[in-house]
Amino acid sequence: MLTLLTIALAVALGVVVWIWLTRERQLENRLRQSQLELAEVKAARNLALVEEQDKQQTVFNSMVEGLLILDENGQVQFSNPTLGTLFDLHGDIRGKTLLEALRHHELKAVAERSLVEGRVTDFELTLSGRETRVLEVNAASFRDRDRAHAGTILVFHDLTRIKQLENVRKEFVANVSHELRTPLSLIKGYVETLIDGAKDDPAIALRFLQTIEKHADRLSFLIEDLLTISQLESGQIVLNQQPLELGEQVDQVIRDLHARAAERSITLVNEVSTGLLVNADGDRFQQVLFNLVDNAVKYGRQGGSVRLGARRMDGDRVEGWVADDGPGIPAEASERVFERFFRVDRARSRDAGGTGLGLSIVKHIVQSHGGEVRLQSEPGKGCTFFYTLPARN
Ligand code: ADP
């Protein structure tokens, strides 16, 4: 009986121990499983974080704006490559203060203002170096969960090109206003003198009216040239390129300007050999030749000659030229004559009805055909204007 009871107790104890051990093992397994899952979650989260950071880094690195992040102590935590280019930075700036890193007191003031105001927008910073740069700076300070200051972010946008274009536009508008105002005020002056009595003397009245007509013509040439320039610059003109016989084109312009050349006893000579073909827009090319020959007649030597020639060059191009034997253009002005409104002799140009736009139209048209223009001149020995155009076989 006792033995039986002992056996039963031992079996029961064994079962209890077995159950306990099994549970323990299960618990251990579950714990290990949970730890494993936790580790997996952590690893996944880390991976996501790394991926997120990589993504951010790629975005920051490819930004056209310069980016600078300061930590809560005002030390550089991050900067992107564009910032380095804008400020010509060499080496690592991490850990430096804003002033140490970029050496601009105005920027330090911007960062400090953003601490007080939360953000500073559209601050313009001018950097004077090898070339002046204008940057737009936007700064914002950010806070952590407890609303404590956590850092400042500064974004730099390069406005240099926009500012340059703005200056070109302002200069152009000022030039155009001046060019329009001059003939208009002359016309007004002559009209007032006529009204005040000059009209009663037929000889004076005729002279004044002729002068008025000359200035009115100048105004309309100017407006025409301005329209051409604006069409060329906005790319509105579609070139209708086709094979043109260069010699025939030259003959055409000589016919058009023959009378004007005769007034100054200038001979126009076509020296282009027959059969030379260019691939160009007929109307636009006529305008190129007209402007060059018209200038040669206006500024060339009275009783002199203007020669138009051309030759086939390597690389499927044709080089043409218009040469006069006039006073020429000084070397320092030879590049500038192609600029809008540039004149070597202002009074002479005005007297000849010039708009100051002829050569810049020539340059535009030739360039839109893929060609180039240049001037060769020696004062006292005349000018030769060269242009290149695509050849046609
Ligand atoms: P403009 O309407 O004044 O002639 P252009 O753009 O055609 O304007 O020419 C610019 C300037 O270049 C002229 O004002 C003139 O001073 C100079 N120029 C152009 N062609 C000649 C030339 N063949 N000989 C001397 N000077 C010239």
> 40: CA distance to ligand 1 center in Å?
79
Mean pLDDT of 273-298: 96
- Is residue 126 a part of any domain in this protein? yes
Nearest-CA residue for ligand 1 atom 14 is: 343
Mean pLDDT of 35-57: 79
Please report which confidence band the pLDDT of residue 226 belongs to, taking 50, 70 and 90 as the band edges. Answer: very high
Last residue of a domain, one of 158, 174, 206: 158
Please report which confidence band the pLDDT of residue 128 belongs to, taking 50, 70 and 90 as the band edges. Answer: confident
> Residue 1's pLDDT is what?
63
d(CA 85, CA 61): 12
pTM across the whole model: 0.71
Residue 46 pLDDT greater than 90, yes or no: no
What average pLDDT is seen over the chain?
A: 91
User: In this structure, are 301 and 378 located in the same domain?
Assistant: yes
d(CA 367, CA 229): 13
Pocket of ligand 1 (CB under 6 A): 291, 295-296, 299-300, 324, 326, 329, 337, 342-345, 349, 354-360, 383
Residue 284 pLDDT greater than 80, yes or no: yes
Atom of ligand 1 nearest to the CA of 225: 2
- Is residue 3 a part of any domain in this protein? no
- DSSP state for residue 200 in the 8-state scheme: G
* Containing structural domain, residue 318: 240-393
Atom of ligand 1 nearest to the CA of 385: 23
User: In this structure, are 180 and 103 located in the same domain?
Assistant: no
Last residue of a domain, one of 158, 174, 198: 158
| Tens-place pLDDT, residues 169-214 | 899 899 899 989 989 999 999 999 999 998 999 999 999 999 999 9
User: In this structure, are 179 and 111 located in the same domain?
Assistant: no
> 1: CA distance to ligand 1 center in Å?
137
- Is residue 40 a part of any domain in this protein? no
| Tens-place pLDDT, residues 291-304 | 999 999 999 999 99
User: In this structure, are 208 and 257 located in the same domain?
Assistant: no
CA dihedral 354, 356, 359, 362 (to 10 degrees): -90
Q: Count CB neighbours of 268 within 10 A.
A: 22
| Tens-place pLDDT, residues 96-125 | 999 999 999 999 999 999 999 999 999 999
Q: Which of 8-22, 139-153, 240-254, 313-327 has the lowest average pLDDT?
A: 8-22
Nearest-CA residue for ligand 1 atom 2 is: 354
- DSSP state for residue 97 in the 8-state scheme: B
Mutate to test the pocket of ligand 1, among 260, 264, 343, 346 (most ligand atoms within 8 A of CB): 343
Please report which confidence band the pLDDT of residue 13 belongs to, taking 50, 70 and 90 as the band edges. Answer: low
User: In this structure, are 92 and 220 located in the same domain?
Assistant: no
DSSP for 312-346, please give it: EETTTEEEEEEEE-SS---GGGTTGGGSTT--SSH
| DSSP SS3 for 109 | helix
Please report which confidence band the pLDDT of residue 386 belongs to, taking 50, 70 and 90 as the band edges. Answer: very high
> Residue 350's pLDDT is what?
79
Q: Count CB neighbours of 100 within 10 A.
A: 11
Mutate to test the pocket of ligand 1, among 264, 349, 373, 386 (most ligand atoms within 8 A of CB): 349
Domain CATH number, residue 392: 3.30.565.10
Last residue of a domain, one of 237, 271, 296: 237
Mean pLDDT of 19-42: 77
Domain CATH number, residue 148: 3.30.450.20
- Is residue 44 a part of any domain in this protein? no
> Residue 209's pLDDT is what?
96
How large is the greatest C-alpha to C-alpha distance in the chain, in angstroms?
A: 162
Mutate to test the pocket of ligand 1, among 219, 264, 292, 299 (most ligand atoms within 8 A of CB): 299
Q: Into how many domains does the chain fold?
A: 3
Please report which confidence band the pLDDT of residue 2 belongs to, taking 50, 70 and 90 as the band edges. Answer: low
> 343: CA distance to ligand 1 center in Å?
6
DSSP for 235-262, please give it: T-PPP-EEEEEHHHHHHHHHHHHHHHHH
Phi and psi torsions of 251, nearest 5°: -55, -45
Proportion of the chain above pLDDT 90, given as a percent: 70
Domain CATH number, residue 178: 1.10.287.130
Query: Residue 135 pairs with which residues in a beta bridge?
Result: 125, 158
Of the CA atoms within 13 Å of residue 74, those in its CB half-sphere come to 14
Question: Are the C-beta atoms of 338 and 391 separated by less than 8 Å?
Answer: no
d(CA 299, CA 77): 65
